[in-house]
A and B are shown apart, each in its own frame.
Chain A
Amino acid sequence: MTDRPAPSDYERHEYDVIVIGAGGAGMRAAVEAIQRGCRTALVCKSLLGKAHTVMAEGGVAAALGNVWPQDNWQVHFRDTMRGGKMLNNWRMAQLHAQESPDRVLELEEWGALFDRTPDGRILQRDFGGHRYARLAHVGDRTGLELIRTTQQRAVSLGVDVYMECKVLRLLQGPSGAVNGAVGIYRETGGVVVFSAKSVVLATGGIGKTWKFTSNSWESTGDGHALALWAGADAIDMECVQFHPTGMVWPPSARGILVTEGVRGDGGVLKNSDGERFMFNYISPYFAAETASSIEEADKWYEDKVNYRRPPELLPRDEVARAINTEVKSGRGSPHGGIFLDIASRRSAEDIKRRLPSMYHQFKQLADVDITAVPMEIGPTCHYMMGGVRVDADTAQTTVAGLFAAGEVAGGMHGANRLGGNSLSDLLVFGRRAGMAAADRALGEPVDTTVDEAQVEAVVSHAFSYLERESGEQPYELHRDLQDTMQSLVGIIRTESELLEAKERLVELGERSKKVAAAGGVRFNPGWHMSLDLESMLAVANCTTLSAIERRESRGGHTRDDFPKADPEFEKVNFVSRYVDGSYRVTAEDKPVMPPELMMLFEESEGDAKEASK
């Protein structure tokens, strides 16, 4: 038997706003809420400042126009929508493009130190899918800068932080509105009950559901699951991004991210024949804006007005599929990837200055000097474009009292996210979620009475893993889930495999009910894994079911049996719900873009043709 705490031992707190997750979006939401006068708490699964945002390398996309004055929000908006294969929520993409410059400049007022242009403004770098150099950055550790800046801001404003706390379930009042959450402290196994007028989900991604991923252990889809279990909708869960460049060797480092900044700064992709193969994979959709020869591509780095972008900087879904095809055709590198070469393209000094942590990472983990030899890379599960359905302006989910921002929210990135748009997403919608959560908390009275029966059910379920004498081993179940998703719901999908995954997920779901975590309540990773598995299974189910329904290829979702995009499917989102104990997926019409924004696409095609002359 374990030391299950009695209700009288539970720690209890009352707040105006609680924010679950302390990456960029959560911190930005908490800062906004407290600035607006709300009593605010930040709850995070790790120590403060360790969230996955620190892994973001290349930069934050914002049309500041510091390097290319031609850049503006309309161009950024268009790039984002085209990169997302038009599946994006147009209003989110618009707000994002319009507001990200202010959000970046605001970081500077909070102490961030971005790299500079010669005239002292924020420097911007090139990235895939962005027409102009647009990413504000600090070398290749921009995520760390963003997290530290928002963290220091939150701490200086007096936000209360609850660290190493895993939230198990949201609490709901009689009307169904979310009014709190129950969690356990990972360090002690102690139960904590929060009541709040507004709850913001900012829990990030889902990568740990797949075997090869750039994500940390925390990315288990907790927020997606919490929202679904509370009755909220999730959309586009089939749209998972496989980043084209993850490390492939050594085996233990497989999946760790290699920043797109390598390609933005001149790195090129080569197969085992030494061929720059990306020229063979320029889809008609991007042909007008992509260089057709090596000569043209290389001139673009210096002159973006007269030359077109190298194909290495196509959106991530295009590059990942191309790499996949090269490897499958037998032109891969010794360890099953392809080559990313910056050594032969830039001086050692330049590489170390522009990409210091990449240099460091390869030197330390693989004993490879990237200033001397090419890197071996391959696709890795990186980002969930889909997520909790939100109102664009307020980040309000379909359940009252519950807001969502950052990777856990869906819609912003459509079927494929452009690099650099994630950090800006966190800031723009983190702030908007904090604003709307504060508005609710400071507005009409909200019933925050905790339903003790709900709390007891949650606690009892969580501790049952420890009380079971024997059963499924959590790490084994996790491995089996990862193998299933990696092999059957990976970068290239087909109906028969997806149906097989669906079957296997039923089986895995049954097994998960019998998981037994050995050991006690204090910092017991086996127990934490048992709890995280529930979230991962929720994500796996929604992704698989949505992937079956989307019978076309679009962005991060590629179907071998339906290799083309279908205009009919462009009109719909697949909506996931948790109903009567199981996950269901239905097609619903996507919001329609107003004509004045549609015009941007007609004009921009003209621009692209102009540029191609």
Chain B
Amino acid sequence: MAIDTASSTSGSPASTETASTGQELRIRLWRGDEHGGDFVEYRLQAQEGEVVLDVVHRIQADQAPDLAVRWNCKAGKCGSCSAEINGRPRLMCMTRMSTLPTDEPITISPMRTFPVMRDLVTDVSFNFEVAKLIPSFTPGPKPPEGYRMQQVDVERGQEFRKCIECFLCQNVCHVIRDHEDNKVHYAGPRFFVRLAELEMHPLDTLDRRAYVRERMGVGYCNITKCCTEVCPEDIHITDNAIIPLKERIVDSRYDPVAWLGRKILGRPSPMSAEQVAAHTGAAAAGQGRAAGSDRDGAGPG
């Protein structure tokens, strides 16, 4: 179900008139399901200090009790309430009404890259399926005195672990936003962040480079930085995760020094994608356990 949000893309409005208390708000909410739908306009009074999610909740409580919307923490920590507000991908709980222009109705529509289930709720199961394909953290043997890591060495990974899995980066990534068929061989920015985190983890021992190149499709990313721009956690997805990942892969393949090192010094050779695939949740789930539970990612899964 494609939803046209191009009609209203006032990200940086010429007008500076924004919502203030008591004023009448006009909210155009997308309502519908996989069979179709349209924007429905709701009117209500603005209240002090509200965010977009508050307004959606008031519409739900007073005018449309079955309005479907995901949310949990309402504090920008869980990444549930992702949507497109005036065409811009945002968290509804962290978008203050006072930052939006009110000379036109405010449009709220579901994320476009994922199939609509109902109203603002989309089927994001793609992401949970990809998560099963990430080769897990695999530390080396624990020394008797326990692991030691320096703050400076954990900070790189800590930036990536701020990710709240709102999937806004996945939503804006052209590789899958405009090409549904790429989803089968492309993990998307959220998972490049995860893979970079594992690759840079001071204790990890797996070599995921071949796997990242062959199975995760990092080569499709052409570094337009759309993901970085929408990240509510300000993770430098492109610069700190994707580009270093791409560089590592290139190094491992073409670097003659690395090749020589393997030949002469007997350094460990790179792990094949096959070897690494054994370390995924998908492999664990496929080991004959939990037979009656293959749900193929359809619906909840």
Q: A158-B287, A216-B78, A250-B50 are in contact. Are A52 and B72 (CB under 8 A)?
A: yes
**A 99-155 contacts with B by CB, 8 A:** 105, 108-111, 113-116, 118-121, 123, 138-139, 141, 143-145, 148, 152-153, 155
Q: A108-B147, A152-B137, A525-B66 are in contact. Are A113 and B77 (CB under 8 A)?
A: no
Q: A138-B161, A252-B50 are in contact. Are A156 and B70 (CB under 8 A)?
A: no
How many contacts A-B (CB < 8 Å)? 209
Q: A120-B148, A250-B50 are in contact. Are A473 and B65 (CB under 8 A)?
A: yes
A15→B291 CA distance, assembly (Å) = 10
**A 245-262 contacts with B by CB, 8 A:** 249-253, 256-257
Tell me, yes or no, whether B67 is within 8 Å of chain A by CB: yes
Q: Which residues of A contact B284 (CB under 8 A)?
A: 156-158
Pick from A141, A165, A185, A252 the residue with the most CB of B within 10 Å. Answer: A252
**B 107-166 contacts with A by CB, 8 A:** 117-119, 121, 123-124, 128, 131-132, 134, 136-137, 139, 142, 146-151, 154, 157-158, 161-165
Partner of B146, one of A121, A517, A522: A121
A 205-242 to B, binary, CB cutoff 8 A, 1 in contact else 0: 00000000000111000000000000000000000000
Q: Which residues of A contact B78 (CB under 8 A)?
A: 49-50, 54-55, 216
Partner of A520, one of B66, B150, B289: B66
Determine whether the beta carbon of A251 is less than 8 Å from that of B299.
Answer: no
Tell me, yes or no, whether A365 is within 8 Å of chain B by CB: yes
Determine whether the beta carbon of B33 is less than 8 Å from that of A522.
Answer: yes
Q: Which residues of A contact B13 (CB under 8 A)?
A: none
Q: Which residues of B contact A525 (CB under 8 A)?
A: 60, 65-69
Tell me, yes or no, whether A48 is within 8 Å of chain B by CB: yes
In this complex, what residue of B is CB-closest to A218? Answer: B72
Determine whether the beta carbon of B301 is less than 8 Å from that of A119.
Answer: no
A520→B132 CA distance, assembly (Å) = 32
Determine whether the beta carbon of A523 is less than 8 Å from that of B150.
Answer: no
**B 47-81 contacts with A by CB, 8 A:** 47-51, 54, 60-62, 65-80
Partner of A50, one of B79, B123, B163: B79
Determine whether the beta carbon of A158 is less than 8 Å from that of B281.
Answer: yes
**A 1-52 contacts with B by CB, 8 A:** 13-15, 39-41, 46-52
Tell me, yes or no, whether A327 is within 8 Å of chain B by CB: no
Determine whether the beta carbon of A216 is less than 8 Å from that of B74.
Answer: yes
Pick from B136, B137, B158, B300 the residue with the most CB of A within 10 Å. Answer: B300
A475→B121 CA distance, assembly (Å) = 20
Tell me, yes or no, whether B240 is within 8 Å of chain A by CB: no
Tell me, yes or no, whether A188 is within 8 Å of chain B by CB: yes
Partner of A366, one of B49, B119, B293: B49
Determine whether the beta carbon of A360 is less than 8 Å from that of B76.
Answer: yes
A253→B47 CA distance, assembly (Å) = 12
Tell me, yes or no, whether A187 is within 8 Å of chain B by CB: yes
In this complex, what residue of B is CB-closest to A105? Answer: B146
In this complex, what residue of A is CB-closest to B279? Answer: A156
Determine whether the beta carbon of A48 is less than 8 Å from that of B128.
Answer: yes
Determine whether the beta carbon of B150 is less than 8 Å from that of A116.
Answer: yes
By size class, the interface of chain B is 35 or more
Tell me, yes or no, whether A556 is within 8 Å of chain B by CB: no
Tell me, yes or no, whether A518 is within 8 Å of chain B by CB: yes
Q: A50-B79, A188-B299, A251-B47 are in contact. Are A367 and B96 (CB under 8 A)?
A: yes
A 86-108 to B, binary, CB cutoff 8 A, 1 in contact else 0: 00000000000000000001001
Determine whether the beta carbon of B49 is less than 8 Å from that of A157.
Answer: no
Instruction: Tell me the count of chain A residues lying within 8 A, CB to CB, of chain B.
Output: 83
Tell me, yes or no, whether A526 is within 8 Å of chain B by CB: yes
Q: A156-B280, A357-B77 are in contact. Are A111 and B68 (CB under 8 A)?
A: no
Tell me, yes or no, whether A286 is within 8 Å of chain B by CB: no
Determine whether the beta carbon of B65 is less than 8 Å from that of A475.
Answer: yes
Determine whether the beta carbon of B75 is less than 8 Å from that of A55.
Answer: yes
Determine whether the beta carbon of A144 is less than 8 Å from that of B77.
Answer: yes
Determine whether the beta carbon of B65 is less than 8 Å from that of A361.
Answer: no
Q: A55-B77, A256-B75, A522-B117 are in contact. Are A365 and B66 (CB under 8 A)?
A: no
Tell me, yes or no, whether B94 is within 8 Å of chain A by CB: yes
Q: Which residues of A contact B79 (CB under 8 A)?
A: 50
Determine whether the beta carbon of B148 is less than 8 Å from that of A119.
Answer: yes
A252→B55 CA distance, assembly (Å) = 10
Nearest CB of B to A582, in Å? 29
Pick from A119, A188, A527 the residue with the most CB of B within 10 Å. Answer: A188
A478→B61 CA distance, assembly (Å) = 10
Determine whether the beta carbon of B149 is less than 8 Å from that of A120.
Answer: yes
Q: A13-B292, A141-B162, A144-B164 are in contact. Are A54 and B65 (CB under 8 A)?
A: no
A479→B134 CA distance, assembly (Å) = 43
A153→B280 CA distance, assembly (Å) = 10
Q: Which residues of A contact B54 (CB under 8 A)?
A: 252
Nearest CB of A to B148, in Å? 3
Nearest CB of B to A403, in Å? 20
Nearest CB of A to B15, in Å? 20
Q: Which residues of B contact A365 (CB under 8 A)?
A: 49, 51, 75, 94, 96
Q: Which residues of A contact B2 (CB under 8 A)?
A: none
Tell me, yes or no, whether B285 is within 8 Å of chain A by CB: yes
Q: A110-B137, A357-B77, A525-B67 are in contact. Are A41 and B293 (CB under 8 A)?
A: yes
Determine whether the beta carbon of B290 is less than 8 Å from that of A158.
Answer: yes
In this complex, what residue of B is CB-closest to A366? Answer: B49
Tell me, yes or no, whether B28 is within 8 Å of chain A by CB: no
In this complex, what residue of A is CB-closest to B79? Answer: A50
Tell me, yes or no, whether A483 is within 8 Å of chain B by CB: no
Tell me, yes or no, whether B208 is within 8 Å of chain A by CB: no
Chain A interface (Cβ within 8 Å of chain B)?
Answer: 13-15, 39-41, 46-52, 54-55, 105, 108-111, 113-116, 118-121, 123, 138-139, 141, 143-145, 148, 152-153, 155-158, 160-165, 185, 187-188, 190, 216-218, 249-253, 256-257, 357, 360-361, 364-367, 473-475, 479, 517-520, 522-527
Chain B interface (Cβ within 8 Å of chain A)?
Answer: 33, 47-51, 54, 60-62, 65-80, 94, 96, 117-119, 121, 123-124, 128, 131-132, 134, 136-137, 139, 142, 146-151, 154, 157-158, 161-165, 198, 201, 204, 279-287, 289-290, 292-293, 295, 299-301
CB<8 Å pairs between A and B, sample of 17: A39-B289, A49-B165, A50-B73, A108-B147, A109-B147, A111-B204, A120-B149, A148-B161, A158-B285, A158-B287, A162-B301, A188-B299, A190-B299, A249-B49, A252-B51, A361-B75, A365-B94
